[in-house]
Amino acid sequence: MAQIFMRISTNMTGKRRGRPPKYDRDTALAQAAEVFWERGFAATSLDDLAQAMNMNRPSLYNAFGDKETLYRQAMAWVDRRLSDQLGTALDTEPDLNRALKAFYDKALTVYLGRTTPLGCFAICTATAPAPRNEAIRRDLAGIIARVDEALIRRLQQAQSQGAYQASGSVHDIARVLQAVLHSLAVRARAGESHTALEKIYNAAVDAIVPEMPPLQN
């Protein structure tokens, strides 16, 4: 039941005992994520995963646990990478309007940037199992909450710099902005084009966070 994965028993020379693993943990997770991303949680078999990760099933169990555990690690892996990219997109651009557009555009490159457009991993594959799998449901809720927080921070930053004046609550506006992200996630997976999606987020940002009028002096 309570198994312990990944006992990192390295000695002081950094060399592990026993037969060395054939896989690299990070790339294996990336490969697992790719399969889950395309097929979803339930439709992905351990054989699919083992094949994609170039491992056999017992090794896979030994390294990552069962399918659910592996799925959650894969989702966390994808989330870390995406959060990094979206966070830097928000931070690099000083103008709020432009920062948000950069944010959405970076998301689109992830959502559309595979051989086939897959949308958002979490939104498009974690929703299905969520009602019957409390852990996955909480993972999904956590991912959404952290994006809320990132957007709130960015809005507050703009506000404190006088670059933005919220009509209502900044918390609520952040959630409206994430709504656009969710829609891009879904529409990308439904097959809509990059240009069509670009129009959506441009319209949204311009409607919700209009460009600053030139400073009056």
Chain residues in the site for its own copies (CB under 8 A): 38-43, 116-119, 123-125, 127-132, 137-138, 140-141, 144, 167-169, 172-173, 175-176, 178-180, 182-184, 186-187, 189-192, 199-200, 202-204, 206-208
Residue 156 found at the interface with DNA (CB under 7 A):
no
Residue 62 found at the interface with DNA (CB under 7 A):
yes
Report phi then psi at 97, rounded to 5. Answer: -55, -45
Q: How far is CA 109 from CA 39, 77, 200, 206, in A?
A: 20, 17, 15, 21
Taking Cα atoms as reference points, which of 126, 115, 123, 121 lies closest to residue 180?
Answer: 123
Residue 116: how many other CB atoms lie within 10 Å: 8
Contact 86, 147 (CB under 8 A): yes
132 binds, among DNA, its own copies, none (CB under 5 to 8 A by kind): its own copies
Task: With contacts defined by CB under 7 A, name the span among 58-66, 131-139, 164-172, 206-214 that binds DNA.
Answer: 58-66
Minimum CB distance to DNA, residue 190 (Å): 24
Minimum CB distance to its own copies, residue 155 (Å): 12
Taking Cα atoms as reference points, which of 199, 208, 214, 213 lies closest to residue 105?
Answer: 199
Contact 111, 188 (CB under 8 A): yes
Task: With contacts defined by CB under 7 A, name the span among 49-57, 97-105, 154-162, 207-215 that binds DNA.
Answer: 49-57
Minimum CB distance to its own copies, residue 123 (Å): 6
Contact 153, 174 (CB under 8 A): no
39 binds, among its own copies, DNA, none (CB under 5 to 8 A by kind): its own copies
Residue 35 found at the interface with DNA (CB under 7 A):
no
Helix (H) / strand (E) element for 99: namely helix 96-112
Footprint on this chain of DNA (rule: CB under 7 A)? 6-7, 9, 11, 13, 15-23, 44-48, 55-59, 61-63, 66-67
